[in-house]
Amino acid sequence: MAFEYIKALHIIFIVTWFAGLFYIVRLFIYQAEAWQKPENERKILVPQLNLMANRLWYIITWPSAILTLVFGFWVLSYRWGYLQQGFMHAKLGFVFLLYLYHFYCQKIYTDLQNGTSKLTSTQLRIWNEVATVLLFAIVFLIVLKSLISVVWGIVGILALGVTMMLGIKFYKRIRNKNQG
């Protein structure tokens, strides 16, 4: 019975962590765009967006990342046999990439809070989709538990990535057309 509670908490913190990751990069986009606004708008937008990013990052996203890890290891302690299976190696590899993504978001966060980010809003839109690709990979691996499915999953992830990149280009074209 304890296992189900631990697993439920692990899933809840995964959801809140991903929610934080998805929204923080959206705030990064708005922060980058705010720096391009006229001075009177920038003076209002930048402090407000910095405050929102700070609260999201340190009150929701970081605690959720830590609790996901804690409960993840706890869940794994009930399922040590999974460590012998290839799907779990692949899943943990994608989780490792997700933590690298999180740490790079920390760098972006710090740069934007200091007003020194070198990334454009378009680059941040592309960066925002990396978490989506990782989410798909992790969920399919843990649900399907099959290395054959991993191959198809990787093909699907690549197709998803290409589709998202095309969508970003299409969105940018429409946005530029409507602004011009």
Q: Which tokens hold the place of 108?
A: 């972006």
Q: Which tokens hold the place of 136?
A: 């798909």
145: left (phi > 0), else alpha (psi -120 to 50), else beta?
left
102 annotated among ligand-binding-site residues: no
Say whether 29 sits in a helix, a strand or coil: helix
Dist. CA 64–CA 68, nearest whole Å? 6
85: left (phi > 0), else alpha (psi -120 to 50), else beta?
beta
Count H helices and E strands in the chain, helices first: 6, 0
Dist. CA 47–CA 162, nearest whole Å? 35
107 annotated among ligand-binding-site residues: no
Other Cβ atoms less than 10 A from the Cβ of 6: the count is: 17
Residue positions forming the annotated binding site: 10, 91
Binding site feature residues for heme: 10, 91
